[in-house]
Amino acid sequence: EPEVTQTPSHQVTQMGQEVILRCVPISNHLYFYWYRQILGQKVEFLVSFYNNEISEKSEIFDDQFSVERPDGSNFTLKIRSTKLEDSAMYFCASSARTTNEQFFGPGTRLTVL
């Protein structure tokens, strides 16, 4: 069964460094999403992406964040200058237009020291 994959599973970085979290969505999906879950809190929507453009973003998704689909398979989330409060689990998801279901990846745990 096709699935969304994410790399790395765990990323540790120093405050102020740039990080790129990678996702490979399901191959025939066209809509891509990033979510964040701070430890002990609920999953929060960050951004949705379609046709090489951001469709919607939350107030969390400020200028420090960017997303890109650099090739036909990867979908990336970049955080330019990480802060301590960026420490969280980041989930990627993808969906097909014809369904109401988003398929989630296993997540990348980002730890900012």
When binding is defined by CB under 8 A, the residue of 34, 46, 102, 112 that contacts other proteins is: 102
Q: What burial letters (b/e) apply to 73-102, b meaning 16+ CB within 10 Å?
A: eebbbebeebeeebbbbbbbbbbeeeeeeb
Per rule CB under 8 A, count of chain residues that contact other proteins = 28
Residue 93 within binding range of other proteins, rule CB under 8 A:
yes
- Beta-carbon contacts of residue 100 (< 8 Å; ≥ 6 apart): none
The token pair at 85 is 């409060």
Determine which helix (DSSP H) or strand (DSSP E) holds 26, and give its type and residue range: none
Shortest gap between Cβ of 16 and other proteins (angstroms)? 26
Residue 107 within binding range of other proteins, rule CB under 8 A:
yes
When binding is defined by CB under 8 A, the residue of 50, 57, 64, 111 that contacts other proteins is: 50
The contact set with other proteins (CB under 8 A) reads 30-31, 33, 35, 41-45, 48, 50, 55-56, 89, 91, 93, 95, 97-102, 104-107, 109
